[in-house]
Structure 1
């Protein structure tokens, strides 16, 4: 029996969401799935995959443009696959404390693809994050890395369970 192929695609402006996608991919590979992790802007065809995990960073209540464009570009094929969506972005512990529902645009994609589910992970805003606003927030103590590797791995194991 050949293993199922899974694509983890992500839209990430500064790398935090890419880190989440990498962790998801590593865990899915460990669970026996043939998994590719690719930037959403590089995804033009998902027909070779049994399942797709698509994620994007949140900015001002909107999903990353690369993730949105990937969803739009591949909408026809995504309707015929198992799809999970994720968001990243809160730079506080809120994603650990409660389930954060998808923003409006992501909720629409969920319906359109009949997605299995959506989850929101904490984001990261650190001294390495580029940009004047980011640096100012970090200087004011508003930054940090709120990604939780254990929670990311747990969700990947859950996806693996659903696929088997």
Structure 2
């Protein structure tokens, strides 16, 4: 039986949402019911067999909606397969090497027995919300550094893992 997957995300300017939607799309292509939903709007995770949570990185911290989501649903998340991703470096570094999770995400990984975490490149373009984001873009340091082939490959590994592993908990 296909396993249903929630891909919850915290985003300010939509970059992380697009990553989450791509992950859900790959999972659906692999035959799993999956949906990408803003983390702040999720009230219950009990109907999902597995969860992926992503958050944009801002000043070394995961997006507040992603942080709140893992705190609010921690007990249920600990009972099912769980993957985390971060989105943020505004350069090619995420495609060149493994970037470890920021401290808050690392603590959540330990507490919730996370299967895997990955950091993807971020995207900050003209029209970004927030004073600092606009300054980064106007200084020429913005851009789109998301590697969708890498994102799709990671989502494929999640699908493979879910097809081969029994539900935990």
Deviation readout 1:12-68 (Å, 9 max, x if unpaired): 011000010011011110111000110000112111111000010111111111001
Counterpart for residue 35 of structure 1: 34
Runs (5+) with no aligned partner, structure 1: none
Contact 2:12 2:129 in 1 (8 A): no
TM-score for both structures, normalised by structure 2: 0.93
Runs (5+) with no aligned partner, structure 2: 164-169
SS of 2:45's equivalent?
coil
Contact 2:6 2:52 in 1 (8 A): yes
Q: Structure 1 residue 139: deviation in Å?
A: 2.5
- How many residues are paired up? 163
Deviation readout 1:112-151 (Å, 9 max, x if unpaired): 1101010000101111312333233222210100011101
Counterpart for residue 26 of structure 1: 25
What pairs with 1:13-162 in structure 2 (closer than 5 Å)?
Answer: 13-162=12-161
TM-score for both structures, normalised by structure 1: 0.96
